[in-house]
Chains A and B, each alone.
Chain A
Amino acid sequence: MTNPNQQGYTPYHNNFLKEVEQNVEDGTWVKMCMQCGVCAGSCPLGNAWEHTPQKIFMMIRAGKREEVLKSDSMWMCTSCYNCIARCPRKLPITHIMHGLAHYAHRLGLAPKGQPTREIAKLFWKNLVKTGRANELKFSLAMYFKDGFKQGIKNALGMQKVGIGLIKAKRLNPMEIFGGHKCKDKSGFQKMIAKAQEIENSKKTHIA
């Protein structure tokens, strides 16, 4: 397969739109946007977005591949579903945003160090190990993601909350030793591996 990152893109011609349709979850909906801007106005985090969903849809049609895929806009989505509920054209906007983020990640174009993306990566790593989310390990991984020194600082900063959670039996310190897991761990891991294989066979994957 040719590397789409190295293809030429003509402004306002169909090529990037087609790439999105073929590779992005619910990407076939992008062309149906009628540019009313209700999604942009409805987004509670709208101010934090470099490009609103409305603009991202227009940029895709305008062939602005790099700008779209390297943008951190779609990583800002908190899945509140306001836009989906309000879109007069019934576009699954939230899903498209996650689809775009996922596609940019796979292509290696997603912004490095983007916090949402880092959390997602850590969470996935944490989850696939045992089939259960280990909250203690996940929190610690988060604290130490920017180095050991910063990690200690973060942990001390959260000390009170942590002790409170333990007292209220919302956090089990024993989880540090492996923690609970699903009944059939190896079966679960096989399942994940198979899913990954199917995914890889279907889609362009570079990173």
Chain B
Amino acid sequence: MAEMKTAAYICSGCGLGDQLDIAQLSKIAQKEGKMALVRNHEFLCNPEGVQIIRDDIEKEAVTHICIAACSRRAKTEAFNFPEVAMSRANLREGVIWIIAQGNEHDEVRQEMANDYVRMGCAEIKKMKLPQGNPNHANNKRILVVGGGVTGLTAALAAAETGYEVVLVEKNNQLGGWAAKMWKRVPFKQPYAEPQETGLVELVAKVSSHSRITVYLNSTVAETSGAPGRFNIKVAQESGSVTTEEVGAIVQASGFSSYDINKLPELGGGKSTNVVDQAGLEALACKAMDTPLKRADGKEIKSVVFIQCAGQRNEANPDHLPYCSGHCCATSVKQAMYFKNANPDVNTVVLYTDLRMPGMGEDFYRSAQDKGVIFTKGKASRVDTAGDACKVVFRDLILDEDAVIDAELVVLATGQVPNAGVDLEAWNPLVTAAESGSEEGKQKKVEMQKISVLNLNYRQGPDVPQLKHGFNDSHFICFPYETRRTGIYAAGSVRRPMDMLQATEDATGAALKAIQAVENASIGRAAHPRSGDLSFPSVRLEGCTQCKRCTVECPFGAIDEDEKRFPVFNESRCRRCGTCMGACPVRVISFENYSVDTVGNQIKAVDMPDEFSERPRILILACENDAYPALDMAGLQHHVYSAFVRAIPVRCLGSVNTIWITDALNSGFDGVMMMGCKHGENYQCHFVKGSELANYRMSKIDDTLKQLGLETERVATYEVAITDNARVAKLINEYAAKINEIGMSPMKGFN
């Protein structure tokens, strides 16, 4: 790369020129910021202003630019110069919009703007233009694990879009659970009758597709590599192992039905007259459209469906705590099997809350119209002694105990995800095995048998589980995106669902996989920093093999070599910078985001002395939620203290404690860290970043005491993107507190 040539562009539009002394800002950029070129424009984001910058890049060979105008989140299309490194000084949302109007505030306003220009210039000098991940690979094939409805749909969707697909199914035929169903819950108008599954056609399409390779009777014996270059060992039942290269993986390993034998009180496993929903499908498949018969051949004249059997039960740890979502509609469908073959059959659905998502309400009405009796009640016991079962339950509407006679009882048991190894249980075994415990080694081997992907990652053989054993990283915000880049969970392994939802899931995950292989092939990051060309690099000479980066990386991107040095798999990385925040010796950095780019900004702030009555508060704000909230506070003209200086960070997880000590040492009176909600129902875009930051900061009190400072001088906050009014309030409260504690005694030493 050619020599660095810097330039600063100061905009005077949007009222900046009216409220700020632009000449003074230019002088600061030139003298203190040491920018080679400084230009002003009254409307920098219009074509004329943009052209000035473009001309400088072309004719003056400018390589690093600092734009002092609006927030880095605004006008991103106008200020799009991918060929140079760029920093943005936020004078609009960050200064003039958050300080009250009037001449009496001129001084603090100008001071704040001056500092942001200083910071922008300081940052750009430490930045490099990201070059893209050099270790990228461009295999664009997609592996689909599981040949059920989800897997088949994902495979077909990816193949039809033009990508080659490898489908691995452990059974000897495709179709999964759906192949064992007689009909499915309706997904088309008028949502009144069970519909054909359409599975035969789907299987035929997949089997004959030229871009899909199907492995039956096969499992994934090992997965290594990274997006764009996964190496898969497919083990067949015969014992032969085939190696496949793929770029991304869709995990559609589905669910197992909750074991009916765990429900003896409801007759589970005690009699063939008590079946689960899968058992009833088998009877229906046998009967076709004729009246259903029991296992003993007797035609069924009365049937009771018991909903939520072994589900939604927090009290009993052996049962499932969650709702499996599909069972109500499935029972309604199965009751219709009976009513459609013989309207005189007595069908009772015993529910506590009938949950019919989607267009299920129409389907429910249709079943009522057919005479299916719905009873709100809770079954406590099923007696299977006689020819007919006796269902003992509490009628919750009539508020009394009651008994129903039924020749067949169907238990609506839930879905248990086939999610592989639970890493929470796995890691202690690894530690035990590493310390030489034979038992630990054995248990580890035993546990790995249920693994779906057999990843050879440092952080374990499967993708992490979110809740109740489901493979997801966030049910609402980031569906399909597991915490392993390039591996996407879809269908009922991700969360409990029905066939229609599984179909939608499959296409969604297929699109994510396509996005991943395309980004990986050109060395760019996948979501959520989609398109980011920067990547973490490590100066191994300085590394002390402490393993904090390899352990803390939320995405398992970093492995270890034999000497326990970190091995970065850039393609697996999401660019959150958690490793950079973790590193105690600060050897990890990104080209455009490093300990220095932020550290330099902190040091660039002009620090008034102890007696000036003008404290300085540093805000480190997560760029995903907190920084937008600050911008929005500006947009809505919420006034907040002019003594703060905000720096956006990729994630609070990337905050290295050196920044805090640097800030306090250079005389900042307080540090506010703003990140996303962590813990249960977290909102962190990098899953663990804010949690880790919070953990690290809980240990900073000792450091503060060593420095002789009050512990209140560092504070962490959870800020959501909608918290624009609150964020201004938080700042003002914190500024008042700093005022109370008094100015930092650390000023004036640097």
Q: Which residues in A have some Cβ–Cβ distance to B below 8 Å?
A: 10-14, 17, 31-32, 34-35, 54-55, 58-59, 61-62, 89
Segment among B199-207, B272-280, B373-381 that sits at the interface with chain A: B373-381
Distance in angstroms between the alpha carbons of A13 and B344 in the assembled complex: 10
Interface membership of B397, Cβ < 8 A: yes
CB <8 Å contact, B302 and A13: yes
What chain B residues lie within 8 Å of A59 (beta carbons)? 398
Q: Which residues B344-367 have CB closer than 8 A to chain A?
A: 344, 346, 348, 354, 364-365
Closest to A52 in B: B397
Q: Known contacts A10-B405, A12-B404; is A55 also within 8 Å of B373 by CB?
A: no
What chain A residues lie within 8 Å of B371 (beta carbons)? 14, 17, 31
What chain A residues lie within 8 Å of B375 (beta carbons)? 12, 58, 61-62
Max chain A C-beta neighbours (<10 A), residue from B302, B369, B398: B398
Q: Known contacts A11-B402, A11-B403; is A35 also within 8 Å of B346 by CB?
A: no
What chain B residues lie within 8 Å of A34 (beta carbons)? 354, 364, 368, 374
From A10, A31, A62, A89, give the contact of B398 (CB < 8 A). Answer: A62
CB <8 Å contact, A35 and B404: no
Distance in angstroms between the alpha carbons of A61 and B354 in the assembled complex: 17
Which 4 pairs of residues, A with B, have the shortest CB-CB distance? A13-B346, A58-B397, A12-B404, A61-B373
What chain B residues lie within 8 Å of A11 (beta carbons)? 402-405
CB <8 Å contact, B398 and A32: no
CB <8 Å contact, B402 and A14: no
B397–chain A nearest beta-carbon distance, Å: 4
From A10, A31, A54, A58, give the contact of B369 (CB < 8 A). Answer: A31
From B302, B346, B368, B402, give the contact of A31 (CB < 8 A). Answer: B368
Q: Known contacts A31-B369, A32-B365; is A14 also within 8 Å of B344 by CB?
A: yes
A207–chain B nearest beta-carbon distance, Å: 28
Interface membership of B111, Cβ < 8 A: no
CB <8 Å contact, A55 and B348: no
Q: Which residues in B have some Cβ–Cβ distance to A below 8 Å?
A: 302, 344, 346, 348, 354, 364-365, 368-369, 371, 373-376, 395, 397-398, 402-405
A39–chain B nearest beta-carbon distance, Å: 13
What chain A residues lie within 8 Å of B397 (beta carbons)? 35, 54-55, 58
Q: Known contacts A11-B404, A12-B346; is A35 also within 8 Å of B376 by CB?
A: yes
CB <8 Å contact, A58 and B346: no
Inter-chain residue pair count (beta carbon < 8 A): 51
Distance in angstroms between the alpha carbons of A54 and B376 in the assembled complex: 12
A116–chain B nearest beta-carbon distance, Å: 24
What chain B residues lie within 8 Å of A62 (beta carbons)? 375, 395, 398, 402
Q: 24 A-B contacts, Cβ less than 8 Å apart?
A: A11-B404, A11-B405, A12-B346, A12-B373, A12-B404, A13-B302, A13-B346, A14-B344, A14-B346, A14-B371, A14-B373, A31-B369, A32-B368, A34-B354, A34-B364, A34-B374, A35-B374, A35-B376, A54-B397, A55-B397, A55-B398, A61-B375, A62-B398, A89-B365
What chain B residues lie within 8 Å of A10 (beta carbons)? 346, 405
Q: A32-B368, A62-B395 given. 9 additional CB < 8 A pairs?
A: A10-B405, A11-B402, A11-B404, A12-B348, A13-B346, A31-B369, A34-B368, A34-B374, A62-B398
Distance in angstroms between the alpha carbons of A14 and B490 in the assembled complex: 42
What chain A residues lie within 8 Å of B398 (beta carbons)? 55, 58-59, 62
A52–chain B nearest beta-carbon distance, Å: 10
Distance in angstroms between the alpha carbons of A52 and B97 in the assembled complex: 61
Closest to B372 in A: A31
B217–chain A nearest beta-carbon distance, Å: 46
Distance in angstroms between the alpha carbons of A61 and B346 in the assembled complex: 11
Distance in angstroms between the alpha carbons of A13 and B374 in the assembled complex: 11
What chain A residues lie within 8 Å of B373 (beta carbons)? 12, 14, 17, 31, 61
Closest to A89 in B: B365
A60–chain B nearest beta-carbon distance, Å: 10
CB <8 Å contact, A32 and B369: yes
What chain A residues lie within 8 Å of B405 (beta carbons)? 10-11, 13
Distance in angstroms between the alpha carbons of A35 and B397 in the assembled complex: 8
Distance in angstroms between the alpha carbons of A34 and B364 in the assembled complex: 9
Distance in angstroms between the alpha carbons of A11 and B373 in the assembled complex: 11
Distance in angstroms between the alpha carbons of A55 and B396 in the assembled complex: 11
Distance in angstroms between the alpha carbons of A58 and B346 in the assembled complex: 15
Distance in angstroms between the alpha carbons of A12 and B304 in the assembled complex: 10
Distance in angstroms between the alpha carbons of A54 and B346 in the assembled complex: 21
Max chain B C-beta neighbours (<10 A), residue from A10, A12, A62: A12
Distance in angstroms between the alpha carbons of A89 and B395 in the assembled complex: 22
Distance in angstroms between the alpha carbons of A55 and B376 in the assembled complex: 12
What chain B residues lie within 8 Å of A13 (beta carbons)? 302, 346, 404-405
What chain A residues lie within 8 Å of B365 (beta carbons)? 32, 89
B335–chain A nearest beta-carbon distance, Å: 12
What chain A residues lie within 8 Å of B376 (beta carbons)? 35
A22–chain B nearest beta-carbon distance, Å: 13
Distance in angstroms between the alpha carbons of A62 and B348 in the assembled complex: 10
Closest to A33 in B: B368
What chain B residues lie within 8 Å of A58 (beta carbons)? 375, 395, 397-398
Distance in angstroms between the alpha carbons of A12 and B374 in the assembled complex: 9
What chain A residues lie within 8 Å of B403 (beta carbons)? 11
A92–chain B nearest beta-carbon distance, Å: 16
What chain A residues lie within 8 Å of B348 (beta carbons)? 12
What chain B residues lie within 8 Å of A31 (beta carbons)? 368-369, 371, 373
B330–chain A nearest beta-carbon distance, Å: 19
Distance in angstroms between the alpha carbons of A79 and B376 in the assembled complex: 28
Closest to B350 in A: A12
Distance in angstroms between the alpha carbons of A58 and B377 in the assembled complex: 11
Distance in angstroms between the alpha carbons of A12 and B371 in the assembled complex: 12
B275–chain A nearest beta-carbon distance, Å: 20
A24–chain B nearest beta-carbon distance, Å: 15
A63–chain B nearest beta-carbon distance, Å: 10
Closest to A58 in B: B397
Distance in angstroms between the alpha carbons of A58 and B371 in the assembled complex: 13
A30–chain B nearest beta-carbon distance, Å: 10
B368–chain A nearest beta-carbon distance, Å: 5
Distance in angstroms between the alpha carbons of A59 and B375 in the assembled complex: 10
Distance in angstroms between the alpha carbons of A114 and B282 in the assembled complex: 54
Q: Known contacts A62-B375, A62-B395; is A12 also within 8 Å of B402 by CB?
A: yes
A130–chain B nearest beta-carbon distance, Å: 45
What chain A residues lie within 8 Å of B302 (beta carbons)? 13
Closest to B395 in A: A62
What chain B residues lie within 8 Å of A54 (beta carbons)? 397
Distance in angstroms between the alpha carbons of A11 and B304 in the assembled complex: 12
Closest to B302 in A: A13
Distance in angstroms between the alpha carbons of A55 and B368 in the assembled complex: 17
Closest to B351 in A: A35
Closest to A64 in B: B398
What chain B residues lie within 8 Å of A12 (beta carbons)? 346, 348, 373, 375, 402, 404
Max chain A C-beta neighbours (<10 A), residue from B364, B365, B371, B397: B397
Closest to A13 in B: B346
A93–chain B nearest beta-carbon distance, Å: 16
Closest to B373 in A: A61
What chain B residues lie within 8 Å of A35 (beta carbons)? 374, 376, 397
Max chain B C-beta neighbours (<10 A), residue from A11, A14, A17: A14
Distance in angstroms between the alpha carbons of A31 and B347 in the assembled complex: 12
Distance in angstroms between the alpha carbons of A54 and B399 in the assembled complex: 13
What chain B residues lie within 8 Å of A14 (beta carbons)? 344, 346, 371, 373
What chain B residues lie within 8 Å of A17 (beta carbons)? 371, 373
Distance in angstroms between the alpha carbons of A17 and B343 in the assembled complex: 13
What chain B residues lie within 8 Å of A55 (beta carbons)? 397-398
Closest to A15 in B: B346
Distance in angstroms between the alpha carbons of A17 and B368 in the assembled complex: 12
Max chain B C-beta neighbours (<10 A), residue from A17, A62, A89: A62
A20–chain B nearest beta-carbon distance, Å: 12
Closest to B301 in A: A13
Max chain B C-beta neighbours (<10 A), residue from A13, A17, A31: A13
Distance in angstroms between the alpha carbons of A137 and B687 in the assembled complex: 83
